[in-house]
Structure formats: structure tokens, C-alpha cells
Amino acid sequence: MEVPEVKFIDWPKFELHVKGERYHSTITPELMKSFLLFQTNLNKSYALAKYADSGHRLRDAEREDLKLLVEVGEGSSGFIAKLEDQFLKIGDALAEGVKDMEPRQKLIAILFLGSAAVGGWSVDTYLQNKKEVRLAEIAALEHEAEREERIQTLQVMQQIDAQHTEAMQGMFNRVVDELPQLTTISERMAASYDEIIASTADSEWIEMQGRRVDGAVVSELGNSPRNRSVEDRVAGVYRIQNVDHSSPTDYRFKLYDVTRRQEIVATLPKDGSMVTDQILDLLQDAEWGRKVVALHLITKVRSGRVVKAEIEKVARVEDQARYAEQDPAAE
């Protein structure tokens, strides 16, 4: 099916309104810091999509293309950041990493990229998760009166549409099954929301992507720890150069990423739940037959270098001819 050319107008965008004494026609230092983190996470998301490494140092031109411009409403406490160009860049980078991504798949990826990162559904999910975490923390408080007061504070939060959220989560899971990077990008945006919540703890209320949260709730949610470790998840097409079986716990695969043209070493736990005879046969066939295989990896990066990678998912690539010219042995 031919996909018509699609142009996004005024979407996606991030919109925040804050009511409070310090927020009239101005942006506080704390809120500025949260938008700087938002920018950092945009850059990291692009680096992950483009280079399979969120810590990759971007070129000046790339940073310029991703630059976040926050509009402060005149005479108001509204902050708007338009994200059409940035998310199209990330979508293009995702498509480059999957050589056979069709236009329809790319469109779906961009739609879910916007929805999962800054859509109303993502904010609903974030706030609900944040509430549940905070309730668990409050349950550990010793004083019953304090516990009850804080629980009552959180109970005033607007209830989400569970049916809609469940449907969206199901669709998102199907897209993530092909593009695991979206999970990492979504988690990075959640870290940005953490900073926004913490930076507006003294507000009367905030409205984030149309979701209004009372100041007392904002203050309570802001008490939860914000430091979170976000793992890079990447998908790619790889050629297996060799396999080291010497470790008693892991297989070590030396891989060549045929679309990004880089080598990486990844492990596969020998006792992992996904390590079936079928998976091992698929990997052995790919190694011995010099075939490419589709892999999802969880990686850790330090100082711009991948220091650890673990295979999370394995899938067969049917169209081997498409990648034949990208054999490192032939270069």
C-alpha cells in the first residue's frame, strides 16, 4: 500500500502551564534546569537512534537541528516547545538503522515516538507510575497520621482512562517489539518529567500536556528519588564474526552491525529463558552460513564506548540478499 506524504504541523509539542507566585511571565532557574535536561535527553535519544549509543558525541550541525526553543507565553505561565523537527530527525535516524524499514513502518514509528515520549498517554502513564511508587514509599512511614494525610493527598489525582491506557500500551508494546529504542527514549522523557515535577514543587498547580496536577500532589510526587539509570536498547542487523564458548555462564558474540558499520561484542546468558534450541540453531546457522541476523541488544556505554552488551532478542532475516554487499569480509 502506498503511503501518502505526511507533514506534521504543530505536533508533537510539549506544553506546560504553571500557576504560582514565581511563575508569572517568567521561567525560574529550577524550571530552566529541567528544560536543559529535556534537551539533553533529546540529544541522547537521537544519538541512540542514529549511532546505537546515547553517549555518542554529536556534531555541531546535529545539535543545532535538535535545539529546543521554549516559548514563554506573554503575560502567562505557559511554556511551549515545538518538537516536529526534532522528532522527524529521530525518526529518520531510526529508519536508517533498519535498512528495510518501509515508509508505513517509519510513519508508525514517528507516531509512537511522539506519543510515547511527549503524548498525553505518556504523561498519564508517567503520573500513574509515579503515584504508585510514591504510595509504596509512603506505606513505609512510621506515623499513621502522616501516612494517611499523604495518601489522601495523592488520591485527589485525576484518574486515568484505564481502558484507553491499556489499549495504547498494547500497541506500544507491538511497536517496541521491532524498535526497542522507543523504550529507552520513553524512559529518558520520564526522567525529564521527574525534573519538571521537582522544579515546580512550590506551584499552586501545573498542567502538563493537558493533565492538571494540584500543587500539593506535585510537591508529594517530587519527594520520590529522581536519579534513574536508563539502559540503552538498540535494534540492528548483525553478522556474527565468531562466538566464544569458553565462559561457563555466557556465549560471547563478536558482531558486525551491517547498517552502522561497526563492531561490537555482546553476550548471551547460557541459562537465559530465551536460550532455546531453536534460538541456538538460528544463531549457529547465521554464523556458519555467514548470514545476517536481527538482534535486540541492551547496552551500557562509558566514555563513549560500549562496555557491555547483552542480546535480548533474536530474529531471522529472510531477505539476506539485501545485506550481501555489506559483508565486512568483502571490504
Residues 6-52 have pLDDT tens digits of: 566 778 899 999 998 888 878 899 999 999 999 999 999 999 988 88
Kindly tell me if the per-residue pLDDT of 304 is higher than 50: yes
pLDDT at residue 229 is higher than 80: no
Mean pLDDT of 283-296: 94
Q: Give pTM, 2 decimals.
A: 0.80
Domain spans in the chain, listed from the N-terminal domain onward? 13-221, 232-330
**pLDDT value at position 292?**
93
β partners of residue 243 = 253
Residue in this structure with the C-alpha cell 558482531, named with its chain if needed: 255
Q: 18: alpha, beta or left, given left = phi > 0 and alpha = psi -120 to 50?
A: beta
Per-residue pLDDT at 7: 66
Q: Kindly report, residue by residue over 109-165, the tens digit of the pLDDT.
A: 778 888 877 888 889 889 988 998 899 889 888 788 888 888 888 887 867 677 777
pLDDT-above-70 percentage for the chain: 89
User: Do residues 182 and 172 lie in contact, with contact meaning Cβ atoms separated by under 8 Å?
Assistant: yes
**Of 324 and 90, the one with more pLDDT:** 90
Class of domain 232-330: mainly beta
Mean of pLDDT values over 56-65:
94
Average pLDDT over residues 262-278: 89
Contact 52, 234 (CB under 8 A): yes
Residue 3's pLDDT is what?
44
Residue with cell 510515547: 116
Q: Dihedral sign for Cα 299, 130, 78, 8, please.
A: positive
Please report the pLDDT score of residue 252 as a whole number: 95
Mean pLDDT over the full length of the chain: 85
Mean pLDDT calculated for residue range 250-254? 95
Here the contacts of 282-287 (C-beta below 8 Å, separation 24 or greater) are: 282/314, 282/316, 283/240, 283/243, 283/253, 283/314, 286/239, 286/240, 287/240, 287/242, 287/243
Q: What are phi and psi of 289, to 5 degrees?
A: -90, 5
